[in-house]
Chain A
Amino acid sequence: NAGVTQTPKFQVLKTGQSMTLQCAQDMNHNSMYWYRQDPGMGLRLIYYSASEGTTDKGEVPNGYNVSRLNKREFSLRLESAAPSQTSVYFCASSETGFLGDTQYFGPGTRLTVL
């Protein structure tokens, strides 16, 4: 099993450009998450999907949209990138989404917005 995979690994954008970060998991997990990680600030939840067909805002959703394409895939879209969105983005999944569930993280996407 590959676990949680993310593409691309690195990306450089210019301000105003758009892009989609892809995430897939092969563990048959119900819940998926998108986090961003900035130096000294830990992981902050952008959006999550408790189950296929549902998505909800996390702590820092502004400037992002998500799509839960199917049970395996959860994508994150930046419609008009801004320098403040320079960060490392992690996708994660968990079996049930209930509190106490272990979250499994992907390798991350390092995004720079110029």
Chain B
Amino acid sequence: GQQVMQIPQYQHVQEGEDFTTYCNSSTTLSNIQWYKQRPGGHPVFLIQLVKSGEVKKQKRLTFQFGEAKKNSSLHITATQTTDVGTYFCAGPRGQNFVFGPGTRLSVLP
């Protein structure tokens, strides 16, 4: 079945450094969603990408959807301690979404 993979699994950065997580699918995706989960919290929707090559920005976060619609990335510029958490991508499978395993981000002050 369709799988969604994410790398890296963990990332430790110093506050102020940039961070990128990558999401890869074994099949072409019609769209992709990104969620953030703070430690001890629940996933919260960040954004959805639909178009090939699409780039969307939310303040310091930049989301990209690959030209082939099989990969996506989330880039955070100048990380802050509030960025700590696990970032998940989710791609459609049948009537539902399949989530990647997530990238856990730690930010050292």
Residues in A lying within 8 Å of B, measured CB to CB: 33, 35, 40-45, 48, 50, 56, 58-59, 90, 97, 99-100, 102-108
Q: Which of B43, B92, B96 contacts A58 (CB 8 A)?
A: B96
> Interface on B for A, CB 8 Å cutoff?
9, 30-31, 33, 41-45, 48, 50, 88, 92, 95-102
Instruction: Give every chain B residue within 8 A of A50 (Cβ-Cβ).
Output: 95
Q: Which residues of B contact A104 (CB under 8 A)?
A: 45
Residue of A nearest to B46 (CB): A102
Identify the closest chain B residue to A58 (Cβ): B96
Give the shortest distance, in Å, between B88 (CB) and chain A (any CB). 6
Task: Give the number of A-B contacts (CB < 8 Å).
Answer: 50
Cβ B96 vs Cβ A45 within 8 A: yes
Q: Is the CB of B31 within 8 A of A42?
A: no
If over half of A's interface residues share one DSSP class (helix, strand or loop), that class is named, otherwise mixed; here it is loop
Q: Which residues of A contact B95 (CB under 8 A)?
A: 48, 50, 56, 97, 99
Cβ–Cβ < 8 Å partners of A48 in chain B: 95-96
**Of B31, B44, B96, B97, which one neighbours A105 at CB under 8 angstroms?**
B44
| A90 B42 Cβ-Cβ under 8 A | yes
- A1 shortest CB reach to chain B, Å: 15
Contact B88 A43 (CB under 8 A): yes
Q: How far is the CA of A106 from the CA of B42 in the complex (A)?
A: 7
5 A-B pairs with the lowest CB-CB distances in the bound complex, closest first: A42-B99, A105-B42, A43-B99, A42-B101, A99-B92
Nearest B-chain residue to A33, judged by Cβ: B96
Bound form: Cα–Cα A106–B44 in Å: 10
A17 CA to B27 CA in the complex, in Å? 40
A100 and B33 CA atoms in complex are apart in Å by 8
Asked if A43 meets B96 with Cβ closer than 8 Å, knowing A100-B31, A100-B48, the reply is: no
Determine if B48 and A102 form an interchain contact, defined as CB atoms under 8 angstroms apart.
Answer: yes
Known interface pairs A102-B48, A106-B42; A40-B9 also in contact (CB < 8 Å): yes
Interface contact B43-A105, CB-CB below 8 Å: yes
Q: A80: shortest Cβ distance to chain B, in Å?
A: 26
